[in-house]
A and B are shown apart, each in its own frame.
Chain A
Amino acid sequence: MKSILEKEPTRGSATTAPLLRELVEHLRQHRTELREEWARRITEAELLTAMSDAEIFAEATSVYDNYVAALETGTFEALQTYSQNLSERIIPRGVETHEVVGIVLLLRDVLARSLFAKYQSDFQLLNRILDAYEPAANRIANTVAVGFVQERERIIREQQEAIRELSTPVLQVRERLLILPIIGVIDPQRARQLTEQLLRAIRGNRARVVVIDITGVAAMDSHVANHLVQTVEASRLLGATVIVTGLSPEIAQTLVKIGVDLGKMNTVGDLQGGIEEAERLLGYKVVPSDAPTQIPGLRDEA
C-alpha cells in the first residue's frame, strides 16, 4: 500500500508543478465558498447523518485544508495521519465506509466543478489543469478511504481479541451441579479451551450434572456443534451428565439443517428448565417455604 502512495505523480511533475501551484492558489482563494458548497452537498446527500451540521462543517474545514496541503506538497503522510485520526473519532459514532468515500468524492467533484467554471473559456488549459488535478485527487481519495478501512479493521481485530479473552466461568450452583454459561463467538480454539476447563472443573468439583447454557451464542457452525457434542461425550466419560440449554431457534434450525447428530444430547429450553431438570436428576426438590422472608430494601406494598 505504501508503494502506491510514494509513487511519483503519473504525468511529468516538471510540467504539472506550476499548474498545481496555480490550482492550489485558486483553492486557497475560494476556500470559504467551496468549503460551504461542499458542506451543503454533504448534508444534501444525507451523508454523515450521525454528526451535527456544525461538526460536519468543522471536519470539512480541516479535511479541505489537508486536501489542499496534500495537493500542494505532493506528500500524503500528513493526510494519512489525519485520516487515521478522523477515522478514530468518527467510527465509534457509526459513520460508514460509504459515507467517508462519499464525502471525499464529493469534495473532488466540488473542486473539479470550480475548475470547470474558472477555466471554461480556455479548454486546453482546463485539460492540463485537470491532468494535474485528477491523479492527485484520486490518490487523496484513495488515502482517506484506505485509512478509514484500515482503522475499521484494526478495531474489528481488537474486538475479536477482546471476545476471545472473555473468560468463561464454570460455576457451581449446588453440590454436584455445575453451570457453564457460554457467551459470544466460539471458534475452534476457544471451544477446546472451554472443554478442557469444563472437564477439569467436573473432576475438581466432583460434579455429576453440568448445564451448558448457550443462550449468549449468536451462531454456530458444524465444527463448533461437533465440538459441543464431543464435550458432552467427554463429560459423560467422566461420569457427568450434560444438559444443554438455550438453543436459539436459529441455531436449532442450523444444526438440524447441517445434520449434526444431537441424539446423544440432553437439551432443555432455557437455563431455568435446565437447572430444574438437573436438580431432579440429583434428587433435589425445591419447595417454597411458607413464609417468604422480607427482602431487605424492598418496601411493603400494603
Chain B
Amino acid sequence: MAVPILKQAQYLIATIQSALTDEDLITLQRALVEQVGKFRSRGVIVDVTSLDVLDSFASRTLRDIAHIIRLRGAETVIVGVQPEVALAMVQLGITLEKVATALDLEEGLAYLDKKLRHAREES
C-alpha cells in the first residue's frame, strides 16, 4: 500500500501506516526523492511509529533515502522507532549510521528546525 506524503511548510512528512513490501519501499523512495525537488523541501521526516518490524531491506532503504535526500540538498529524520524494533535492529547489526533519528514527529520537526536555523546562521 502506498505511503501518503504530506507537505508541511518546507518539510515533507511520510507516515508509514502498515507493513510495507519491498516494492512499496522503492515507490516511497522514488516519490520522496522526486517531491523534494518539486516542492524545494528542506527536510524530510519518515515516521515509522506503526511498524513493529523493520527488516534489513527496509532499514537499508531508509538509509538510502536519507543519503539520497542529502544529495538533493535536504535533511532526513527517521522518527518513531519502537524500543523493541530498535533492539532487534541493533542485534542484527543494523544501526542506520549517519542517519538522524528522533523520538517522534514533534521531535523530528524540532530537529529539522534547529538544523535549518544553524545552516542559515552559518551562511
- At the interface with chain A, which of B2-10, B14-22, B28-36, B80-88? B80-88
CB of A148 to closest CB in B, whole Å: 43
Cβ < 8 Å to B, chain A residues 207-260: 207-208, 230, 233-240
A239 partner, pick from B84, B89, B95, B107, beta carbons under 8 A: B107
A206 partner, pick from B78, B84, B95, B103, beta carbons under 8 A: B103
Cα of A233 to Cα of B101 in the assembled complex, Å: 11
List the A side residues contacting B44 at CB < 8 Å.
none
List the A side residues contacting B65 at CB < 8 Å.
none
List the A side residues contacting B104 at CB < 8 Å.
206, 239
B96 at the interface (CB under 8 A from A): yes
Chain B: which residue is nearest A240 at the CB level?
A: B103
B91 at the interface (CB under 8 A from A): yes
CB of B101 within 8 A of CB of A234, answer no
CB of A234 within 8 A of CB of B89, answer yes
Cβ < 8 Å to B, chain A residues 166-222: 195-196, 199-200, 202-203, 206-208
Over the window 117-146 of chain A, the binary record of Cβ atoms lying under 8 Å from chain B Cβ atoms (1 yes, 0 no) is 000000000000000000000000000000
Cα of A196 to Cα of B86 in the assembled complex, Å: 10
B90 at the interface (CB under 8 A from A): yes
B26 at the interface (CB under 8 A from A): no
List the A side residues contacting B83 at CB < 8 Å.
196, 199-200, 202-203, 234, 238
B74 at the interface (CB under 8 A from A): no
CB of B101 within 8 A of CB of A237, answer yes
B79 at the interface (CB under 8 A from A): yes
List the B side residues contacting A264 at CB < 8 Å.
95
Cβ < 8 Å to A, chain B residues 80-123: 81-87, 89-91, 95-96, 101-104, 107-108, 111
B86 partner, pick from A206, A207, A208, A237, beta carbons under 8 A: A237
CB of B90 within 8 A of CB of A237, answer yes
Cα of A206 to Cα of B102 in the assembled complex, Å: 10
Chain A: which residue is nearest B106 at the CB level?
A: A206
CB of A238 within 8 A of CB of B103, answer yes
Cα of A18 to Cα of B96 in the assembled complex, Å: 83
Given contacts A230-B91, A237-B89, contact A203 B103 (CB under 8 A): yes
B81 partner, pick from A196, A200, A208, A238, beta carbons under 8 A: A238
CB of A248 to closest CB in B, whole Å: 25
Cα of A236 to Cα of B104 in the assembled complex, Å: 13
Cα of A230 to Cα of B94 in the assembled complex, Å: 10
B87 partner, pick from A199, A236, A239, A240, beta carbons under 8 A: A199
CB of B103 within 8 A of CB of A237, answer no
CB of A49 to closest CB in B, whole Å: 51
Cα of A264 to Cα of B95 in the assembled complex, Å: 11
Over the window 69-82 of chain B, the binary record of Cβ atoms lying under 8 Å from chain A Cβ atoms (1 yes, 0 no) is 00000000011011
Cα of A5 to Cα of B87 in the assembled complex, Å: 52
Cα of A263 to Cα of B71 in the assembled complex, Å: 26
Query: Which of A200, A230, A236, A239 lies at the interface centre, i.e. has the most chain B CB atoms within 10 A of its CB?
Result: A239
Given contacts A237-B96, A238-B101, A239-B79, contact A208 B90 (CB under 8 A): no
Q: 20 A-B residue contacts at CB 8 Å?
A: A196-B84, A196-B87, A202-B83, A202-B103, A203-B82, A203-B83, A206-B107, A230-B91, A233-B90, A233-B95, A236-B95, A236-B101, A237-B96, A237-B101, A238-B103, A239-B103, A239-B104, A239-B108, A240-B103, A264-B95
Nearest 8 interchain pairs by C-beta: A199-B83, A239-B102, A234-B86, A237-B86, A239-B103, A234-B90, A230-B90, A237-B81
Extra pairs beyond A203-B103, A208-B107, A239-B102 (14, CB < 8 Å): A196-B84, A199-B83, A208-B103, A230-B87, A230-B91, A233-B90, A234-B83, A234-B86, A234-B90, A236-B95, A238-B86, A239-B79, A239-B103, A239-B104
